[in-house]
Amino acid sequence: MERELVLVWLKPLPERFANLAMELREMINETRAFPGCLEASLAVSEEYGEIVIQHAWQSRAAQDRYLEWRADRGDLIRISEMLDEEQYFRTFKLVEPE
């Protein structure tokens, strides 16, 4: 099975940090319920002013459907408006140990 891991680093505007962290906590529950999501988590560092999102997907196609859904809802634009820097987004293929 080919699975995908997604890591996203966000640097919110300082005055939007708490609001974005709270909104993302709610969004993680929606992500976990989305078809094809294997897991999703959120890490917050007030010290560094950063938020990290991690998702694991059954396939790249499932991840793509999720991103389209978020874009159609306007979630991605709304989040980008709260950022101090452009998000750092990477996708990896999960490799099973032999």
Query: Which residue would you say has higher pLDDT here, 2 or 72?
Result: 72
Q: Is residue 98 part of a domain?
A: no
CA neighbor of 63 nearest in space, from 40, 39, 37: 37
What is the dihedral angle through the alpha carbons of 41, 44, 48, 52, rounded to the nearest 10 degrees? 20
**Per-residue pLDDT tens digits for 51-62:** 999 999 999 999
Task: Please state the pTM of the whole predicted model.
Answer: 0.88
- Distance in angstroms (rounded) separating the CA atoms of residues 17 and 46: 8
Q: Is the pLDDT of residue 84 over 80?
A: yes
Number of domains in the chain: 1
- CATH at 32: 3.30.70.100
Q: Is residue 93 part of a domain?
A: no
Q: Is residue 95 part of a domain?
A: no
**Per-residue pLDDT tens digits for 27-52:** 999 999 999 999 999 999 999 999 99
Mean pLDDT of the chain: 94
Assign 1 a pLDDT band (cuts: 50, 70, 90). Answer: low
List the domain range (segments joined by +) for residue 79: 3-87
